[in-house]
Amino acid sequence: MSFIDHISKTPVLGDRVFISDDAHVSGDVQIGDDSSVWPMAVIRGDMHKTVIGARTSIQDGAVLHQTHRSDFNPEGYPCVVGNDVTIGHNVCLHGCTVGNEVLVGIGSVILDGAVVEDKVIIAAGSVVPPGKTLESGYMYMGSPIKQARKLNEKELEFFTYSSGNYLRLKDHYLSRSTG
């Protein structure tokens, strides 16, 4: 694993975090308890901060970055991801906010200033344009993304199932590396 500081900022990890040996985590990055970062994921905190909640899985090949503060955008856009989130393979999160209990499907892109509220499913290959807000309790899909339908009860239960599944897998990898 490439785990380095940048501009005097070193990543801060919660308890029982798993980071794959071939992932890259650098700079002003915070990762919450029981979260996991899988092979070839890149999480950079060199332009602003990146904050990842607890029990969140950042899958293979995902890229998390942010937008710096400037005259054009005085506050910049950090990259913030909530608790019990599954970020699918090859997802790009750039300067956006993702709430709690969210599934971001494989290959999706969420851009600067976008906000994904809690309990949202984003279908694979979707693109969330800058500044767009996705309302809680819905499935979204497409490029550009559109609200598809309200989530059903089974889908609403899936969020904690998915985070729990990756929590068990993460624990298996941690036990192999320490034991």
Would you place residue 177 in the very low, low, confident or very high pLDDT band (cuts 50, 70, 90)? confident
- Is 47 strand, coil or helix? strand
State the pTM of this model.
0.94
Q: Residue written as tokens 């979204």?
A: 140
Domain boundaries, the chain: 2-178
Of residues 65 and 8, the one with the higher pLDDT is: 65
User: CA–CA separation, 95 vs 97, rounded Å?
Assistant: 7
Taking only the tens place, the pLDDT of each residue in 76-85 is: 999 999 999 9
- C-alpha distances in Å from residue 164, one per residue of 42, 58, 72, 82: 23, 14, 41, 15
Taking only the tens place, the pLDDT of each residue in 6-17 is: 667 899 999 999
User: What would the mean pLDDT of 18-39 be, rounded to a whole number?
Assistant: 97
pLDDT at 7: 64
Mean pLDDT, all residues of the chain: 94
Q: Per the CATH hierarchy, to which homologous superfamily does domain 2-178 belong?
A: Hexapeptide repeat proteins (2.160.10.10)
Is the separation of the CB atoms in 104 and 88 below 8 Å?
yes
For the chain, report the end-to-end CA distance as a whole number of angstroms. Answer: 19
Which DSSP category does 168 fall into?
H
